Structure 1
Amino acid sequence: MKIGAIEVWPPVVLAPMAGVTNAPFRTLCREQGGGLYVSEMITSRALVERNPKTLAMIRFEPGEKPRSVQLYGVDPEVVGGAVKVIAAEGLADHVDLNFGCPVPKVTRRGGGSALPYKRDLLRRILRAAVANAGALPVTMKMRKGIDDDHLTYLDAGRIAVEEGLSAVALHARTAVQHYGGTADWDAIARLKDAVPEIPVLGNGDIWAAGDALRMMERTGCDGVVVGRGCLGRPWLFRDLDSAFEGGSERVRPTLGEVGATMMRHAELLVECFGSETHGVLDFRKHVGWYLKGFTVGAGSRRDLATAGSLAELGERIACLPAGQPWPGEAADGPRGKSNARERVHLPEHWLDDPYDVAVPEGAELDSSGG
C-alpha cells in the first residue's frame, strides 16, 4: 500500500489514541512488526501557538520512519497553519486529519466526527491542509457519520479525493455508537467502491490478525487501522506481519513475558517524560489491558495499578505467576470502552445546514492529546 510516496507494508496503521500512542507505545509496537504508526492527536491551534506540551508530544525516536502526526482542527486557517509548521520544520513525514473522534468535548465544538456533516467546511479544511503540506501526504480518518440519519462518509470520501488527499480511513461506526455495537464492514466496501482513486483503510473490530485479513477480503479495502485491539498487546503487530506474509504463527506470551513487556513500557514512559512519577502514573491505565484474560486476583491488579515507582512496580510484577500461559480467546477479544451513547453533543443548530462554513466560536482546542 502506498500513501503518497510512502510504502506501507504490511498495510497496517496504528490508530491515533489519546494518552496511548505516544513514543514509548509506538516503540513497543514498531519492534513487533511493520506498518505506519501514528502519534496521539495534536491540536492545530496548540501547534501554531507553540504550546510546550504539544511540541513535546511531537517526539519521535531517532529510528522512527516514517514519522506520522495526526492533527485535530476545525478552522481551515488554523489547520493550514499547523500543517505548514509541520512541513516547513520537518516535524513529520505524513499528516493525518482527525474527523473521527466521538468524545463530547470535541464534537460539541463541531470537531472530530461532527465536522464532516458540514461538507463545505470539511472541503476548506482539506484544501488548506493540502495546500500547506508541500510534498507530505495528507490523509484523514472519519466515521460513518453522526448517526444513521446523518451519514456523511461517502460525501466526505469524494471530497477527500477532489481535494487531493492521499488516503482515507473509515471507522465503520457512527459517532453515536461511540465504540459500542458491531462495526459495519459493509460501509467500508461501499466507500472503497465510491473512491477507487485512493487507498481506503478499514477500522473497527480488528481484535486479531485474522480479523484484518477477513476485513480486507470482505470489503476490498487497501489496508487496516488497528486501535483498541492492540491495547496491552503490542505483539498484535507481529501477528499481523506474519498473517500478511501468509504465515499462521501467532504470539502467545506467558504472563511472565507480558510482565516483562509491562516493565519495559513503564521504563520507556519514565524516560520519555523525564519523570519517574509521571511515567509510572501514566502507565497505570495500561495495567488492565495487559492483564486481560489472565487469572490475576483483584488485589494484585490493584497493587500493580497503584505502584508509585519503577522499583515498586517491578516487585509487584515479580509476584505474578510467570508461567501462566496465554489465556487465548479471553485475551484476544474486545478490549477498551465499548458503550454506545444516547446522543452526540453538537453545537447549537449544527444540523440545520450541512453546507454552512461558519466555524463555531471556541471550536479550536488549545491542548493536545484528546
Structure 2
Amino acid sequence: MTGLRLGTLDVPTPVVLAPMAGITNAAYRRLCAEHGAGLYVCEMITSRGLVEGDETTKRMLVFDEAETVRSVQLYGTDPTYVGQATRILCEEYGVAHVDLNFGCPVPKVTRKGGGGALPWKRNLLGAILEEAVAAAAPYDVPVTMKTRKGLDDDHLTFLDAGRIAQETGVAAIALHGRTVAQAYSGQADWDAIGELVASVDIPVLGNGDIWEAADALRMIEETGAAGVVVGRGCLGRPWLFRDLAAAFSDDGPGETTLPTLGEVAAMMRRHAELLCEHMGEERGCKEFRKHVTWYLKGFRAGGELRRSLGLVDSLAALDRLLAELDPAEPFPASELGAPRGRQGAPRSRIVLPEGWLDDTDGLSGGGVGVLEDVDETTGG
C-alpha cells in the first residue's frame, strides 16, 4: 500500500501515533519508531504556554537524537496564540508537522471551549486554522487537525470541520469516531469516518478502536481513509507498530508473531532505559511505573511482583524484578483485540462555557478561556 502524503511531508507507512500526555514523550516515540515506520507525534502542548515561554511547556518539547521528523500537537482557543506558537515550532524547534487538537473530551478542556468543544464554533475554528496554516506556510510545514464527531449525537460537527479544514489549507484531518459525550466509551463509529472521506478532497485519517494491525487494514478498507491514528492500542505494546508496518507493506500482513513474556520484558527494559537517558534515572524510573500494568496485562505475573515493578526506582532494581518473570510464557491470546487504557462511561452532561450552544460563531470573545495544562493520556 502507498504511504501517506501530508502536504510536503511523506510518511512511508500510513500510521500516526496519537499524541498522549505523559505517554508520547521522546523516549516512547523512539521506542515505537524502533519497531516500525510511521509519524510519531509529541504529546500535546498549549499554544499560550509556548508563546509565553512557560518552562513546563518547553520541557515537553524534547526530541530524541534519532527523530528525523519532528511532529507536535498544539492546543489553543485563540487564533493569534495558535499562529504565534506554530511559527515558534517551525522557526525555533525545526518541527516538520503541526497538528491541532480539536478532539480532547476532558471536562477541564471543554469548559474552556477547547478540544472537542471548539468545532461547534465554526468561525472560530476557521480563524484558528487560517492563522496556523499561514504561520507554517513560509517553512513548508503541513498543518493537520484532529477532531471528533461532535459534542453529542444532536450536535455533530465533523462534516463542517472537514469542509473548513479543506477551505483553510489544512493538509489532512483525523477523525475519532466518537463524540465528546462518549469520551472513550462504547464503539467508535467508522461509518462517520467514511462519510467524512466522501465529503472532502484532503486526506482523512481514521481513529478509534484500532487494537491490532488487522483493525487498521479493516478501517482503511471500510472507510477509504488515507491512514490511521493509533492511541490506546499501543499502550504497553510498542511492537504494534511493527505489525502495522508489516500489514501496510507491499508483501501484505503475513503471520503476526506475538511476543513472549521474555520479549515483553526486554521491551520494558528498553523503555525504561530510554526514559532514564532523557530524564535521569530517578525520574525516568518513576515515569516508567505507569506503563507496567499495560505491559503485563493478561500475563500471569503475581501481584507482589507487579507491585514491586510499580515502585521501581532504579534500572538495577528493574533488572532484578524482570528476571523473576517467566521468559517462555506466551502472549495471552485473550488480550488480542481487547480495549486498552481508559474506557469509562458516556457522559450525561458535557461541561461547556455558558451559552456555548447559542451560536456557531465564537469570534465575539465570550466564553473562550485559556488552559495552561492538560492531563490527557488517551490520545483525544
SS at match of 2:306: helix
Q: C-alpha distance in 2, partners of 1:102/1:114?
A: 8
Corresponding residue to 2:353 among 347, 355, 366? 347
Residues 1-370 of structure 1 aligned to structure 2 (within 5 Å): 1-134=4-137, 135-195=140-200, 197-245=201-249, 246-274=252-280, 276-340=281-345, 341-359=347-365, 363-367=369-373, 370=376
2:220–2:226 CA contact under 8 A, matched in 1: yes
1:292–1:331 CA contact under 8 A, matched in 2: no
**Matched residue count:** 368
2:96–2:141 CA contact under 8 A, matched in 1: yes
1:65-119 deviation per Cα after TM superposition (whole angstroms, max 9, x unaligned):
2211000000111101101111222431000000011111111111000000010
Q: C-alpha distance in 2, partners of 1:154/1:234?
A: 32
Q: C-alpha distance in 2, partners of 1:328/1:132?
A: 48
Q: 1:147 to 1:362 in 2, by over 3 A?
A: closer
Q: C-alpha distance in 2, partners of 1:6/1:214?
A: 25
2:354–2:367 CA contact under 8 A, matched in 1: no
TM-score by length of 1: 0.96
Structure 2's unaligned 5+ residue stretches are none
1:46–1:368 CA contact under 8 A, matched in 2: no
Q: C-alpha distance in 2, partners of 1:247/1:129?
A: 37
2:262–2:329 CA contact under 8 A, matched in 1: yes
Q: CA deviation at 1:247?
A: 2.9
1:231–1:335 CA contact under 8 A, matched in 2: yes
Q: CA deviation at 1:273?
A: 1.4
Structure 1's unaligned 5+ residue stretches are none
Q: C-alpha distance in 2, partners of 1:24/1:13?
A: 16
Letter in 1 for 2:238: P
1:41–1:369 CA contact under 8 A, matched in 2: no
Q: C-alpha distance in 1, partners of 2:195/2:85?
A: 32
Q: C-alpha distance in 2, partners of 1:253/1:235?
A: 9
Letter in 2 for 1:364: V
Q: C-alpha distance in 1, partners of 2:18/2:68?
A: 16
TM-score by length of 2: 0.94
Q: CA deviation at 1:268?
A: 1.1
SS at match of 2:132: helix
1:287–1:304 CA contact under 8 A, matched in 2: yes
Q: CA deviation at 1:368?
A: 6.0
1:202-249 deviation per Cα after TM superposition (whole angstroms, max 9, x unaligned):
000000000000000000111000110000000000001111121313
RMSD of aligned alpha carbons: 1.4
Q: CA deviation at 1:362?
A: 7.0
Q: C-alpha distance in 1, partners of 2:226/2:359?
A: 33
